[in-house]
A and B are shown apart, each in its own frame.
Chain A
């Protein structure tokens, strides 16, 4: 499956992208919400977006709202990955159509746990 990593920090894109590549995803990157919409239009097989909130030009929240207006993207899983950890922001993001929410900082296991729960990676039981 193809995943789109949306963050204005190149370092964050590499960190999140690296975790996803190790989990078997092919990764596409975008620097902001508008850039991400362009990538979505280019690649019709993106199944997962990992989305920062605060970005120039178009925020991650605006991106989620925009994606949810498009019927052809209704099966795309949207996961916020952001430093914004206030409860009302989590509520807003979920209400707008995000499926999951990861608060930075995080470890690779955090992302993998969420992807397992979403059914996007195989469940590997731990000891």
Chain B
């Protein structure tokens, strides 16, 4: 371990101020592993030296925050929410007469979740238009998402081969998602602690594996903002380890198979 307590505290404070994500003691390994590539590319001998170097350089702070707040991502991550989307949520919306769905993929990282949603709806509900707003804090992730280009390793992670064949084309060493799917997703920089992004009110929100990083007060605050950005009959997907129960009682939990989805309670 090369990270001093002082360095860790600096990074934890910076990340908390910029993203509200709590990095508690014991997460030193996370800071080490996420910042190691930055340290290497900056020519620093180790992460500790790298952080000492950027402390006074405010232009580098965003890089540090991005590295700590970006999650690994895969296509159709965990599958269940996408099954619920296809079998329950979209049919309900379509049954109510919706012909256009506004969807928010929050903390979208490099866009796999947003594009997975777009592909599922394109394949199963051909008459339905989708406008997906994909947001993240990290500019580098948004740029990657916008490009729609993924390496072979990224393509391998969870993307069913029939969808690869149908929606992607190979361009040299990478695969690029086709323009029709790309056009249904708009990437915007957004901090969940600020105002919700343009593009709402949203019929469906994916806010998965984000709340786990926040304390209860921040979770409640984020859920309230999300509710304010949703259609009254909208649906919210959270990560498997997350719930509104005990945090914000303005949501109704609906069990669908092994998975659950949330709806704003009326009048809240």
Contacts and interface: CB of A to CB of B under 8 A. Distances in A.
Contacts of A86: 170
A93 B161 CA distance: 10
B41 interface: no
**Main DSSP-derived SS at the A contact region:** mixed
A42 interface: no
Interface in B61-113: 74-80
Interface residues of B, number: 27
A117 B160 contact: yes
B170 A123 contact: no
Nearest to B159: A113
A125 B153 contact: no
Interface in A111-125: 113-114, 116-117, 123, 125
A50 to B, nearest CB: 13
Nearest to A103: B152
A109 interface: yes
Given A106-B156, A125-B239, A126-B77, A90 B258 contact: no
B165 A125 contact: no
B176 to A, nearest CB: 11
A63 interface: no
A94 B161 CA distance: 8
Which residue, A87, A98, A114, A126, has most C-beta atoms of chain B within 10 A?
A126
Contacts of A103: 152, 155-156
B164 A90 contact: yes
A116 B82 CA distance: 13
A103 B239 CA distance: 28
Interface in A71-93: 85-87, 90-91, 93
A117 B158 contact: yes
B144 interface: no
B78 A101 contact: no
Nearest to A101: B161
B78 to A, nearest CB: 4
Nearest to B160: A117
A4 B158 CA distance: 21
Given A98-B161, A99-B161, A114-B160, 9 more contacts: A85-B152, A90-B164, A93-B161, A110-B156, A110-B157, A113-B158, A116-B79, A123-B80, A126-B78
